[in-house]
Amino acid sequence: MVRRRRGTSLSLGQAAGKNSDSLCTFWGVGITNDPGQDPDETADEGRSDNFREVWALENSIDWSQIPDDQSATTEDAPTSKYALHPDDRIWRHPSELQYLSTNSQRPAGKRKLFGAGLIGAVIGAVVMALAVGVTFGSSPKVVERVIEREIATATVSTSGEGGTGFVPVADVAAKVTPSVVGVQVVRSGRVVGSGSGVIFRDDGHLITNSHVVENGDKYRLIFADGTVVEAILVGSDRLTDVAVLRATTDQEYKFVPATLGISTSLRAGETAIAIGSPLSLRGGPTVTVGVISATNRRLQSPQGDWLYELVQTDAPISPGSSGGALVDARGALVGITTVIAVTDVGAEGLGFATPIEIAHHVASDIIQWGKARHGRLGIRGSDAPTRLLPPSHNAGVLVESVDFGGPAESGGIKVGDVVVELDGQLVLDMGGLVVDARMLQPGATSPIRIWRANRLFVLDIEVGELD
């Protein structure tokens, strides 16, 4: 903004006079008798040629040449020709301080007005900054607290029937923990091993691993509330690494059986919660959280037998947690933790669990018969390539050999046949066929669908028993 010049401003010659006092009146600070520009005059009327010379000079000032010497004259100090009074500017060059008059007659009201305006602007800026800080600065803190709270409670989404909203893992753990016990294996009066177990019947029967209970002659159960009771071995099955113990106590104790779930509907990425008693630590079971990493895994058990249809999880499973519970986001038991992947450098962060359908089926057999009764077909094979499958099916097992005199040979199955269904269930791979065959009742007749010579056949097989 151009500051309006007074009509009585000094001429260029006066501004350059030898009297240094003229420096104090150059900006017209002491001039009060100027009537101002006549409204009827044009913008250039009433202005002298001297004024134009002064204005031209003022607009060509080189501020880099400002002297710091207080004895400098007007000719040496082009700042004396600057059109804007220092009081109208918010900055000063150090050399300007020598030219400011101590008895300046600039109206005090204007100075106060300018100062008040400047202070008001500063206060307004501070208030605005505080308002912006309150509005936007506090949001990240709230988000951080929310995130920390979500991590602390590990809130997860439920799925399946009856699952609505969100269930904290703490609530799931509180529900399942009373069903999980620590197992101490005793031999000759001393503890030689430990593991975990899951109560699945209210009469005190629990499922654990076969490799946990081997080499023991007595067993002790440690419940979440600290209660310790004796247990007896009902039976075990090496083929599935499943064993059953039964608590024995003279006192009445309310056993809390776990809620059984369904592992066949599990998908990779779903929440998995492992609860067990690692390393015989006191204070109750340990809870770890991860996801279902994969299903239908095949792995060798610590005893050397092949285990099929295993559920893989990244929920940390430590030594001593074998036989513990693997539950879903609702707290339903979907597996019995069995093995962990270990290399020369230690655990690989992979755990495997026996599907609850297999574990429960074997445990029921053990309770009823004293041992697991596995069905047998008497065939060996591999996953069938796509070119050998019928148009109606996407998977099957190619028969590579048939046991002489076995159930399959007696029922008419031949090498080269492709098995696509067993007992009304689709056969997805060789591991699935082995598991399904083992779960058949020995002595019963089961239909088996095969693909042979571009035709589908249904054969009835009398199921044998696996020794």
Whether residue 241 lies in the annotated active site:
yes
pLDDT of residue 151: 30
Q: Could you say which of 194, 196, 205, 211 is catalytic?
A: 211
pLDDT in single tens digits along all 467 residues of the chain = 444 444 443 333 343 344 444 333 333 333 344 444 444 444 444 444 554 444 444 444 454 454 544 454 444 444 444 445 555 555 555 555 555 544 444 444 444 545 556 666 667 766 666 554 544 444 443 332 232 323 333 333 344 444 445 678 899 999 999 999 999 999 998 999 899 999 999 999 999 999 999 889 999 999 988 899 999 999 999 999 999 999 998 778 889 999 999 998 899 999 999 998 876 667 678 899 999 999 988 887 766 778 888 999 988 887 778 899 999 999 999 999 987 766 555 556 688 999 999 999 999 999 999 999 999 999 999 999 999 999 999 999 999 999 999 999 999 999 999 999 999 999 999 988 988 999 898 999 999 999 999 999 999 999 999 87
88 catalytically annotated: no
According to the model, what pLDDT value does residue 376 have?
93
Residue 211 falls in the annotated catalytic set: yes
Residue from 322, 365, 374, 436 carrying the catalytic annotation? 322
Say which of 80, 196, 210, 241 is annotated catalytic: 241
Is 258 in contact with 333 (CB distance < 8 Å)? Answer: yes
Hey, what domains does the chain have and what are their CATH numbers? 12-106 (no CATH), 154-371 (2.40.10.120), 375-465 (2.30.42.10)
| 297 phi and psi angles, rounded to 5 deg | -85, 150
